[in-house]
Amino acid sequence: MRNFKTAGRESGGLCQVAPTSASLPRRLPRILNQRPGFTLLEILASVVVLSVGILGVTAMQTASLNGQLLSRNLGTAYNVVHDALDRMQTNSENITSYINNNYSQPFTVTANISDRNPSDNTGERPAAGTTAADDYDAIYMAMLDMKLSSGVLTVQLSNDDPYTGVDSATAKLTWNYKGKTRTCEVHTELIKEGR
């Protein structure tokens, strides 16, 4: 604000008067014509930066969920394989019944998710050590319950290897996961009881 003398006032003093457009300097009209805020280009740039950040977080979350699902499937496969081997060890006096008395033939259980009827009641699984057929059924149902898509369990036995009365067993479970075949393989020895 500028100080101007006013005419016609009795006080004869100075007072402050707002400047008029005629009294403004020449550069001030350019400043007054600029509007405060952001330009369209600045807003576009910030939207692009924000979008890239959101896409990165989304990709990271998707990778994390896929990793968790694969980890769950591996844990499930490990449990199924060990359940099968535990059942065979418990029923080791009849171990040849799993392979029809032929050590060159593996014990195989195949389960497809599409085999599962949602109205089926799985009920109690037979206890280990009953018969090879009961163990087959229990392993088959475990594979269906755990939703391993197109799962195939094979247990290959080697007679009296490494010692007499001890069979080595290689259990291998394969299943499909997102178009790829995954495998869980366990090697152990089964002590044959009653021999």
Segment 128-174, tens digit of pLDDT: 556 788 888 888 888 887 777 688 999 998 888 878 888 899 999 99
* 173 vs 178, residue with greater confidence: 173
- pLDDT band of residue 6 (cuts 50, 70, 90) is low
Quick one: average pLDDT of 90-113?
84
Residue 85 lies in a domain: yes
User: How would you label 91-108 residue by residue, b for 16+ Cβ within 10 Å and e otherwise?
Assistant: bbebbbebbeeebeebbe
- pLDDT band of residue 123 (cuts 50, 70, 90) is very low
Q: Where are the beta strands (DSSP E) in the chain?
A: 2-5, 14-17, 107-111, 151-158, 166-177, 180-191
- pLDDT band of residue 195 (cuts 50, 70, 90) is low
* 16 vs 80, residue with greater confidence: 80
**Would you state the pLDDT for residue 118?**
45
- pLDDT band of residue 18 (cuts 50, 70, 90) is low
Give the structural domain span for 128. Answer: 57-191
**Average pLDDT in the chain:** 79
Would you say residue 59 has pLDDT above 90? yes
The tally of domains found in the chain comes to 1
Would you say residue 94 has pLDDT above 80? yes
Residue 124 lies in a domain: yes
Residue 110 lies in a domain: yes
Residue 71 lies in a domain: yes
Residue 89 lies in a domain: yes
Query: What is the spatial distance between Cα 84 and Cα 151, in angstroms, rounded to a whole number?
Result: 14
- pLDDT band of residue 28 (cuts 50, 70, 90) is low
Give the rounded percent of residues in the chain with a pLDDT score beyond 70.
71
Residue 24 lies in a domain: no
Residue 43 lies in a domain: no
Would you say residue 91 has pLDDT above 90? no
Find, among 22, 154, 21, 24, the residue nearest to 80 by Cα: 154
Residue 126 lies in a domain: yes
Would you say residue 4 has pLDDT above 70? no
Find, among 102, 160, 98, the residue nearest to 130 by Cα: 98
**Would you state the pLDDT for residue 7?**
52
